[in-house]
Amino acid sequence: MEHHIVSSYDQELKFILRRISEMGGQAERMVEQSVAALIRSDWGLAQAVVADDVLLDAAQRELDERAIMTIAKRQPMAQDLREIVGAIRISNDLERIGDLGKNIAKRVIAVHEHSQPVQLVRGIEHLSELALGQLKDVLDAYATRDHVRAEAIRSGDEEIDAMYTSIFRELLTYMMEDPRNITACTHLLFSAKNIERIGDHATNIAETIYYIKTGNQMETDRPKGDRTTSISDAAVSGAQSA
Amino acid sequence: MEHHIVSSYDQELKFILRRISEMGGQAERMVEQSVAALIRSDWGLAQAVVADDVLLDAAQRELDERAIMTIAKRQPMAQDLREIVGAIRISNDLERIGDLGKNIAKRVIAVHEHSQPVQLVRGIEHLSELALGQLKDVLDAYATRDHVRAEAIRSGDEEIDAMYTSIFRELLTYMMEDPRNITACTHLLFSAKNIERIGDHATNIAETIYYIKTGNQMETDRPKGDRTTSISDAAVSGAQSA
């Protein structure tokens, strides 16, 4: 951060940054707990995640208002302005990560009815570990304003996408093997998709860190996201016979 | 809007509002075209939607920057400030609606391989008509700052959720009947989910209009969203035998 004489702007910025750090911790916890609830069929834990989402939404709205008021009152320039704008963007991503955690938690009952094959559960667990790793890394990079590290984080999203693609195929195969798996696997598919999107939001945060530090957009040399959208039957049969 | 002496603030606000209206039209068109592409297996149209999404993203980023600069330079208060903050929120929702259109478009090839039953295609078409109706209504309500109409729009989202729930059940049933339907139906499931989320964003926009006009949050007497998260096998079998 640029050097300032201590001012109200600094105090307001500090408040905003502390809030972001709290929201980050809460979003992490919600994702962790929602996946644990899914895997252990823990309905109580799932309900706790759904309740936490209300708090995270409120925190985001409050941060939004504080940040806007700070811009209006202090008229910050250059990196100071980018700090505030960046905080608004990051809190938005964190709120959406919380939403994704909530969506996973809401599927716990529907998935519970079936015992899932160990392999699938491990896959989803591993996917969530990757996504949580990205989230922790990017929150650390934000705390230290480390835009070089932020750039490196983006490439970690590829691993998440590859893992999601493999889980997507596995789930389809499993549904094809036995129609009784279809309902539960559909909910697992949506859950895996939610985890994959958490990775995308971590990438967004990395891009925001880069913007805060440099004033530029990170180059978009890597298309984000879902590579399963074109997976057809032929591809799934291929995976089955492999 | 409150009465102003003609000022640069007014000109900047006018620019921002014109941009929102353009973005709204573009988001509508992307949703319309993505669903048409899905139904008619029109890969060329799908590609056009994917290309349009880049433009909408850029428009949102530009609007964001303009709006923030306007807040910093003009320090608007009360409804004037809410107009700008509201524009930032609405452009964010429109950008996400465009993303959802793009996601649907990206599934066109995978769905294409199977001919879908007429009933399912009609269902998805009808769902998208409901969502587009909501979007058009809420953009009109925004153009006229009609917060009473905005409140009414929110209740329309219930119909979308009910329709999505019914399509979700139908798709599961169809997958259970014949495993060869599973891959294409999975993509249709994700597409239906994307359309349902467009309805949620229309509701967000309605809530923002209410906030701009009144300075208050709309009462949250209706929980948003997906009621399929707890659909279990028992529920699907029930639908099958009904």
CA distance B239 to chain A (A): 13
List of residues 6+ apart from A98 with CB closer than 8 A = A26, A27, A30, A52, A53, A56, A57
3-class state of residue B78 by DSSP: helix
Instruction: Express each pLDDT in B140-193 by its tens digit.
Output: 999 999 999 999 998 889 999 999 999 999 999 999 999 988 998 999 999 999
CA distance B143 to chain A (A): 24
CA distance B109 to chain A (A): 6
3-class state of residue A4 by DSSP: coil
Q: Under CATH, what is the fold of the domain A8-241?
A: Methane Monooxygenase Hydroxylase; Chain G, domain 1 (1.20.58)
Q: Nearest-CA neighbor of A222 among A153, A145, A121?
A: A153
Name the one residue in this structure whose structure tokens are 């809401």: A106
B242 pLDDT above the threshold of 80 = no
Please give the mean pLDDT across all residues of chain A: 88
- Contact assignment for B106 to A226 by CB distance below 8 Å: yes
Task: Collect all residues of chain B within an 8 Å Cβ-Cβ radius of residue A113.
Answer: 232-234
Q: Kindly report the number of other CB atoms within 10 A of residue A179's CB atom.
A: 16
Confirm or reject contact between A230 and chain B (CB < 8 A).
yes
Number of continuous H segments (helices) and E segments (strands) in chain A: 8, 0
Q: Name the percent of chain A lying above pLDDT 90.
A: 66
**What distance in Å separates the CA atoms of residue B9 and residue B84, rounded to the nearest whole number?**
10
Q: What is the pLDDT of residue B238?
A: 44
Alpha helices in chain B (DSSP H): 8-40, 43-74, 78-106, 108-112, 118-143, 147-177, 182-214, 233-241
Q: What is the pLDDT of residue A79?
A: 86
B113 pLDDT above the threshold of 70 = no
Q: What is the pLDDT of residue B171?
A: 94
Higher-pLDDT residue of B9 and B133 is: B133
- pLDDT band for position A222 (cuts 50, 70, 90): low
B4 pLDDT above the threshold of 80 = no
**What distance in Å separates the CA atoms of residue B80 and residue A131, rounded to the nearest whole number?**
40
Using an 8 Å Cβ cutoff, are A109 and B230 in contact? yes
- Contact assignment for A72 to B68 by CB distance below 8 Å: no
Tokens of A77: 């320039």
**Beta strand residue intervals within chain A, DSSP E:** none
Instruction: Express each pLDDT in A76-93 by its tens digit.
Output: 888 888 999 999 999 999
Task: Collect all residues of chain A within an 8 Å Cβ-Cβ radius of residue B234.
Answer: 113
> Could you give the ipTM of this predicted complex?
0.84
Domains of chain B, residue spans: 8-241
**What distance in Å separates the CA atoms of residue B180 and residue B166, rounded to the nearest whole number?**
21
Q: Nearest-CA neighbor of B111 among B182, B202, B169, B211?
A: B182
Confirm or reject contact between A233 and chain B (CB < 8 A).
yes
Task: Collect all residues of chain A within an 8 Å Cβ-Cβ radius of residue B232.
Answer: 109-110, 113, 183
DSSP state of A144: T
- Contact assignment for B179 to A176 by CB distance below 8 Å: yes
Q: Nearest-CA neighbor of B91 among B208, B178, B235?
A: B208
Cβ-based burial of B235 (10 A; exposed 0-12, middle 13-18, buried ≥19): middle
- Lowest-pLDDT range of A173-182, B48-57, B226-235: B226-235
DSSP state of B75: -
Instruction: Express each pLDDT in B63-104 by its tens digit.
Output: 988 998 898 888 888 888 899 999 999 999 999 999 999 999
List of residues 6+ apart from B56 with CB closer than 8 A = B23, B26, B27, B30, B94, B95, B98
- Contact assignment for B233 to A68 by CB distance below 8 Å: no
Query: What angle in degrees, to the nearest 10, is found between the helix axes of B78-106 and B43-74?
Result: 160
Mean pLDDT of A45-53: 96
A215-222: list long-range contacts, CB under 8 Å, 24+ apart: A215/A78, A215/A79, A215/A82, A218/A150, A218/A151, A218/A154, A222/A154, A222/A155, A222/A157, A222/A158
Instruction: Express each pLDDT in A17-36 by its tens digit.
Output: 999 999 999 999 999 999 99
Give the best residue of B84, B186, B196 to mutate against chain A (max A CB count within 10 A): B186
How many Cβ pairs within 8 Å bridge chains A and B? 96
Confirm or reject contact between A218 and chain B (CB < 8 A).
no
**What distance in Å separates the CA atoms of residue A225 and residue A71, rounded to the nearest whole number?**
33
DSSP state of B227: S
Q: Nearest-CA neighbor of A207 among A95, A86, A96?
A: A86
Q: What is the pLDDT of residue A242?
A: 34
List of residues 6+ apart from B199 with CB closer than 8 A = B130, B131, B134, B156, B157, B160, B161
Instruction: Express each pLDDT in B199-227 by its tens digit.
Output: 999 999 999 999 999 988 887 655 566 88
Residues 132-161 of chain B whose Cβ lies under 8 A from any Cβ of chain A: none
Distance separating the N- and C-terminal Cα atoms of chain B: 52
- pLDDT band for position B115 (cuts 50, 70, 90): low
Confirm or reject contact between A64 and chain B (CB < 8 A).
yes
CA distance A152 to chain B (A): 23
- pLDDT band for position A221 (cuts 50, 70, 90): low
Using the CB atoms, write b or e for B49-82: b if 16+ within 10 Å. bbebbeebeebbeebbebbbebbbebebeeebbb
- pLDDT band for position A115 (cuts 50, 70, 90): low
